[in-house]
Amino acid sequence: MDDKSTSIASLNNKSDDSEVVNKILTKFNNLQDGNESQDKKEEKFENRDFNKEIYNLNSSNDVYKEHHQKELQRTAQFQQADQDDDNMYEEDYEEYEVIEIPLWKRILNEIRIPIFIFILVLVFFNCSFDKFLLNKVAFFGNQYNECNTYGFLLKAFLISLLSYLLIRFVRI
């Protein structure tokens, strides 16, 4: 020990009855008594009866009941927060109605494009249209009064243009 501190053993030997010394001595005595009670506590801990303690824990479910109540409260708070979120999202989105189209209209919608193209091909690739075209513009025909490549390309362009217009603007 260093020179400045006073050992507890030397305090017991002095006859100084000051209040500070008495407090220190009582604390020291309490610590020594505490060590004895600590030994008793350790011995009691080592010799305890597990079966009795487990039975007491099982018979009194106070801790379990408290935990159960806390879990119920936590679940209720979570569900309330979830409902608030759902309400917030419901306000953000608009509802819309899906319109059911009858089967015959759906089938007709699907086959109208090939039907339009078929009708236009029949109109433009028949002999009377070839005669009409060659009488108006001889450039699209050959010496046998048949359509040449330019005439064929003109008819294909007319079919594609009219098909596009019919498909685009004729709805069923």
Tens of pLDDT, residues 115-124: 888 988 898 8
Token pair of 107 as six digits: 């089938």
> How many helices (H) and strands (E) in the chain?
7, 0
Residue 155, judged by CB atoms within 10 A of its CB (0-12, 13-18, 19+), counts as buried
Mean pLDDT, all residues of the chain: 77
d(CA 152, CA 124): 10
pLDDT at 1: 47
d(CA 147, CA 155): 10
Give the chain's domain count.
2
Report if residue 38 sits inside a domain.
yes
Q: Determine how many CB atoms are found less than 10 A away from the CB of residue 34.
A: 11
Tell me the residue range of the domain where 40 lies: 8-48
Tens of pLDDT, residues 102-155: 999 888 888 888 888 898 889 888 888 888 888 888 888 888 878 888 988 999
Single-letter amino acid code for the residue at 109: N
Report if residue 58 sits inside a domain.
no
Kindly report the pTM of this predicted structure: 0.38
